[in-house]
Amino acid sequence: MEVQKIGIVGAGQMGNGIAHVCALAGYDIIMADMSSEALDKARALIDRNMERQVSREKITAEDKATALGRIKTTLKLPDLGQTDLVIEAATERESIKTAIFEDLIPHLQPHTLLTSNTSSISITRLASRTDRPEKFMGFHFMNPVPVMQLVELIRGIATDEETFKACHDVVERLGKTAATAEDFPGFIVNRILMPMINEAVYTLYEGVGSVQSIDTSMRLGANHPMGPLELADFIGLDTCLAIMNVLHDGLADTKYRPCPLLTKYVEAGWLGRKSGRGFYDYRGETPVPTR
C-alpha cells in the first residue's frame, strides 16, 4: 500500500513537526486539533521553521510554498477519515489516545493505517481498543522532528508485515532512519534516556551536585550536547514523569521509581520550557537554575 495522504491528530510540539516534515516530503496533510488557536500557532511555527531552512539553503522558497500548500487544518476529527495513514500525536495519556481512536474509527477507510507517536505506552494495548490491530503500530518521532533523524517503529503483537513496510517506506521518504523496537515499556530511546534523566534528578535531590554542575558534568564529561536537566526541561517534566511511571508500572522494577523531586516539580506546575520554569527559570533573558 502506498501512503499519499496523512492525517495528524494534535497540533502541538510533535504534531506540527510531523506535519512539517511530511509536507516537505510531498504528502498531503490534514492536521486536526480541538483548538483553533493551537492550529493557527502550529501553522505559524511551521512557516517560521521552514523559513529558517530556506535561509540556511536546506530548502528553496518554492519548496516551502509548495509544502505549506499541502497542509490543511481542521477542528473535526472525522475529516481525517479519507487519509491513508493517521499519526496520533496527542498528549501522552492513554485515556486521551484511546478516546481519539474510538472517535476516529467509524470514519476511516478500510485500508487506513493507524499509528501513535506515543513515547512509552503499549502499542499492543492501544491497538486492541481499535477495529484494526493488524494495521496499527507505533510511529515515534524524536523532538524536534525537523532536526532529529531517528524514527522508532514499534510493532504491536498483531501488527502485520504490510503495515510495517508501509510505515518504513514513509520514514525513508522523509529522509529519516528507522529503528525497529519491540513493544516493551519505553521502547529503546526512552528505556535508556529517561532513567538517565531520572538519575540526574536524584543526583540533584540528594545534593550530590547543583543543576549547573550536573549539566556541565554531562556536557563536558560525557560529550552530551545538552545536560540531562536542561534536556528534561526541553522535553517537559510532565512527559518525563509520565514515561518513568510507565516504566515503573510496566516493568515492576524499583530502579525505575520516579524521583520524588521530579514529582514535586510537576505538582508545582514547573514543567520546563513550556511553562517558563523547571530545573531552570526561563522568564528572564537567560535561563537561571532553580536549585
Long-range contacts of 132-138 (CB under 8 A, 24+ apart): 132/105, 132/108, 133/158, 133/159, 134/158, 134/159, 134/160, 134/163, 135/111, 135/159, 135/160, 135/163, 136/163, 137/113, 137/163, 137/164, 137/167, 138/181, 138/183, 138/187
**134 carries an active-site annotation:** no
**119 carries an active-site annotation:** yes
- Give which of 264, 120, 100 is closest to 193, Cα–Cα: 120
Tell whether 33 is in a known binding site: yes
SS3 22: helix
Q: Which residue among the candidates 122, 140, 198, 230 is catalytic per the annotation?
A: 140
Radius of gyration in angstroms for the set of CA atoms belonging to the chain, rounded to a whole number = 19
DSSP β-bridge partners for residue 11: none
**94 carries an active-site annotation:** no
Tell whether 14 is in a known binding site: yes
Upstream peptide bond of 78 is cis (omega within 30 degrees of 0):
no
Q: Can you state the angle between helices 61-70 and 36-55, rounded to 10 degrees?
A: 160
Q: Which residue among the candidates 116, 120, 190, 198 is catalytic per the annotation?
A: 190
**122 carries an active-site annotation:** no
Q: Which residue among the candidates 16, 20, 117, 152 is catalytic per the annotation?
A: 152
Distances (CA, A) of 272 to 3, 87, 231, 239, 240: 36, 25, 9, 10, 11
Tell whether 97 is in a known binding site: yes
Question: What grid cell was written down for 274?
Answer: 513550556
Tell whether 236 is in a known binding site: no
Tell whether 11 is in a known binding site: yes
Tell whether 13 is in a known binding site: yes
Tell whether 69 is in a known binding site: no
Tell whether 272 is in a known binding site: no
Q: Which residue among the candidates 16, 119, 120, 122 is catalytic per the annotation?
A: 119
Q: Which residues are annotated as a binding site for NAD(+)?
A: 10-15, 33, 92, 97, 119, 143, 274
Summarize the annotated binding site as residue ranges: 10-15, 33, 92, 97, 119, 143, 274
Active site residues: 119, 140, 152, 190
